[in-house]
Structure 1
Amino acid sequence: MSNGQFFVLAIIGMSTLGWMFTSWVRAKHGYPVENEWGGSTAKGYDGLDEDYPNAVRKIQLLTTENETLIGRISRLEERIAVLERIATDPAERTAREIDALR
């Protein structure tokens, strides 16, 4: 192996060891550790949210809100169907239906 190849491999090795050392120091002192994709992981992260009860409550609230919005959408779809029918029907029948809706 020539001196040039050895030099390149030494630079790569030193960079890798330096990255490992800084990651170890950051993790040891509680700083977030970055991964190779730019994300970070906090010290002691085990995949579980420390705010689990609040997360469950948020899910329940969002589920309730979702059901309410689905109901609204279905009522609006029914109203739009009536309006489309009124817009495409003959004038006499349309006038009777409009009067019935009042």
Structure 2
Amino acid sequence: MSPEKFQIVQMLFPLIAIMASLGIGGWVLTTWLRIKHGYPLDGAWGQSVYPKKDDETVERVKLLSQENAQLRAEIGSMKDRLIVVERIVTDSGNLLSHEIDRLRSPAN
């Protein structure tokens, strides 16, 4: 390396070191402020590192799980009904009329 380039590197090195120190110090300060004020910490892609688990969140998850189970049961019953409707629509008219007559007749 030539002496001129070496002098330029020597002049820039303190500036680069100061900028890196300020960047690291700023990151440490913002992380400390987030922790102090209760904000969740973010990972590399913005996801929470330590998600909050307070009573309200746990209760919301329970309610959503119950609603999800109810909706799944409703969808299951709707699928069963749809199967019956599809069978009625795709059956021939003669078989359908025979089944209706069988249902109309009194049970033995």
Specify the TM-score bucket, using the shorter chain as the normaliser: 0.5 to 0.7
| Number of residues of Structure 1 aligned to a counterpart in Structure 2 | 94
Aligned counterpart, 1:89? 91
Distance 2:56 2:43 in 1: 31
Structure 1 unaligned segments of length 5 or more: list them. none
Q: Structure 1 residues 95 and 10, CA, compared in 2 at 3 Å: closer, same or farther?
A: farther
CA contact (8 A) 1:86 1:94 kept: yes
Query: CA separation in 2, counterparts of 1:12 and 1:82?
Result: 75
Between Structure 1 and Structure 2, whose CA radius of gyration is higher? Answer: 2
Where in structure 2 are there 5+ consecutive unaligned residues?
Answer: 104-108
Give the TM-score normalised by the residue count of structure 1: 0.62
TM-score (ref. length: structure 2): 0.59
8 A contact 1:86–1:97 mirrored in 2: no
Q: Hey, what does 1:47 align to over in structure 2?
A: 50
Q: Could you tell me the percent identity over the aligned residues? A: 21
Alignment of 1:13-24 (within 5 A): 13-24=17-28
Q: What are the Cα deviations for residues 37-96 of structure 1, in whole angstroms up to 9, with x where unaligned?
A: 47498xxxx8252x5111111111011101111110111100110111112111122245
Pick 1 or 2: higher relative contact order, CA cutoff 8 A, min separation 6.
1
* In 2: Cα distance, 1:39 partner to 1:7 partner: 37
More helix by share: 2
